Structures are given as structure tokens and as C-alpha cells.
Amino acid sequence: MLFRQQSPGLDGRPFTPYKFPTMRDESGATDQARLTRCGAFLRNTSLEELPELWNILRGQTSLVGPRPLLMQYLDRYSPEQRRRHEVLPGISGWAQINGRNATSWDDRFALDLWYVDHELLAYLKISLSYDFARSPARRDQSARTREYAGFHRIGGNQSDAAISRVRLPAERASPALPCERKAENAAMTAR
């Protein structure tokens, strides 16, 4: 038995990613209450993603890329956010290793777009320097993704020039890897 849910892939085309189910189907219950004991183990070890290897073999996803979201979000994207579909979605992505569900939607889209613009560099950084199973965000099963409400326009003007665009902070050209953050935090603590 596999969990299936249609998601937008490359160029926004629908595909069906496969995962091992980790929650009971109980409407109205919290995600924490729906999470099974086996499901918690699968999530903590990232094994619930294993069936997505089939999607990789079919050319629908990659190991690394923006995580596929829900089809219903497609019409909520700004033109800039829509660019996340210029690359294959991934089992893991730049936004996931830089905070997962603990980050805002704007930050996640900014990180996804950074990945789109720096695909090879980001792929290598993620693949070579991150331990997915030990990620603090990965272990925190209480963090829950809120529904994406859509992009915001500035001052009610509906022109494309008025779209609030997501940008990475100017002081950092690329988001820090978790290991870089630990080094920065250790240096600050030592002072």
C-alpha cells in the first residue's frame, strides 16, 4: 500500500509521487495524532520517501530539487514563484535542508528559486555535505506546513511590477548549509 497524491512537476505538468503512508486517515484530527508509530520511524529515517525512487526512474523527479507541492497551489504562484517548475522536483531540496517546515513560505520559495538559478552548485552541496537523517528539522515531527495562501501584491496594484518578489538577503549570495550555521554559531558563542 502506497500513498499517492498528484503534484505539479517539471513545467507544472501533473505527476503522481509515491510514498509509504505515515498517517491514519482521520479527518479533523491533528497531524501529530494521525502519525502512526511506524510512520514516525519512517519519517525520522526518511524511508517514507523510498518509493519515490520509482518516480526518479520514470524521469518525473530527481534526488534534489524543489519539493513538489499540491496542484491547487499552481494558480497561487507569482510569475517568479512559478519558476520553481523550471527544474525537476526532488525528494529533497535546498529549502528542506535549510529549515524544512520551520521556514516561511516566502523563504522556501526564495530557496527554491536559488536552487533553480544554481542547480548544479546546490545539487553538489546538498548531495555531498548533508546528513538527512540527522537534521534537527527532520527529527521535529511537530513542525507542520501551513497551507500556501498565494503571493502578495504591494498596495493593491495588480500590475506585475507591483508583485512582492521573494529575494535572498543581500548579505548572503547563497543560503548557509546547516554545517556552516553551526560553525558561525560556535564562533559567536566563543566570543
Average pLDDT over residues 177-184: 51
Q: Per residue in 17-61, pLDDT tens?
A: 999 999 998 888 888 899 999 999 998 888 999 999 999 999 999
Q: How confident is the model at residue 191 (pLDDT cuts 50, 70, 90)?
A: low
Sketch the domain layout of the chain as residue ranges.
3-141+161-177
Name which residue leads in pLDDT, 145 or 140: 145
Q: Spell out the SS3 assignment of the chain.
A: CCEECCEECHHHCEECCEECCCECCCCCCCHHHHECHHHHHHHHCCHHHHHHHHHHHCCCCEEECCCCCCHHHHHHCCCCHHHHHHCCCEEECHHHHCCHHHCCHHHHHHHHHHHHHCHHHHHHHHHHHCCHHHCHHHHCCCCCCCCCCCCCECCCCCCHHHECCCCCCCCCCCCCCHHHHHHHHHHHHHC
Average pLDDT over residues 147-155: 62
Name which residue leads in pLDDT, 186 or 85: 85
Name which residue leads in pLDDT, 147 or 92: 92
Report the pLDDT value the prediction gives residue 162, as an integer from 0 to 100.
31
Report the pLDDT value the prediction gives residue 188, as an integer from 0 to 100.
53
Report the pLDDT value the prediction gives residue 172, as an integer from 0 to 100.
44
